[in-house]
Amino acid sequence: MKSKILNKTRNIIGYIFIITAGFSIGIGTKYGFDLYNQQPNLIATNTSHHYQGIDSKVIIYTTQWCPFCKKAKQYLTEHNIDYIERDIESGNRETIELYESMGYPGVPKIVIGSIIINGFNESLLSKELKSQNLL
């Protein structure tokens, strides 16, 4: 009788261990994959193709529904920074191609000189505008 209870207890503990290990591996894999695919906040690259035919030093890729796009535009406006807005949902093929050339999804994308800022990060944006003598 005692050995049957001991065997059942061992089996239950074994099953619990296997289930826990499976959940841990699954969760770890998901977060590891998310971390691996996380877009960088800032990319230094050749952005000259974004500036063809314009004089502005700042370009922002946006959508109309994005609250962070609105915050970024508000920040630029409040600091008297001239910028060109390119709405990626406008249907303009050139705008879409330029946006896609940056490699990471999401908006806003702010192009300042040879820097692309992914998302709205006020301190990073201020730093880059200052480094370009725009703020």
Q: Do 83 and 47 sit in the same domain of this protein?
A: yes
pLDDT digits (tens, 9 = 90+) for 103-115: 778 899 999 988 8
On whether both 48 and 33 belong to a single domain, the answer is no
Residue pLDDT, tens place only, 63-77: 999 999 999 999 999
pTM of the predicted model, to two decimals? Answer: 0.70
Q: Residue 87: which region, alpha, beta or left (left: phi > 0; alpha: psi -120 to 50)?
A: beta
Q: For residues 78 and 98, state if they share a domain.
A: yes
Q: How many domains does the chain have?
A: 2
> What's the N-to-C CA distance of the chain in angstroms?
81
Do residues 122 and 65 both lie within one domain?
yes
> Which structural domain, as residue segments, surrounds residue 22?
1-38
Same domain? For 78 and 122 the reply is yes
**For position 76, what pLDDT does the model report?**
95
Q: Both 72 and 25 in a single domain?
A: no
Q: Which residue has the higher pLDDT, 48 or 64?
A: 64
Per-residue confidence band for 56, with pLDDT thresholds at 50, 70 and 90: confident
Looking at residue 24, what is its pLDDT?
75
58 neighbors 84 (Cβ within 8 angstroms) = yes
| 72 and 117 share one domain | yes
Does one domain contain both 64 and 4?
A: no
Are 64 and 8 within one domain? no
In this structure, the answer to whether residues 12 and 66 fall within a common structural domain is no
Same domain for 67 and 16 = no
* Residues 34, 46 within the same domain: no
We report the CATH number of the domain holding residue 104 as 3.40.30.10
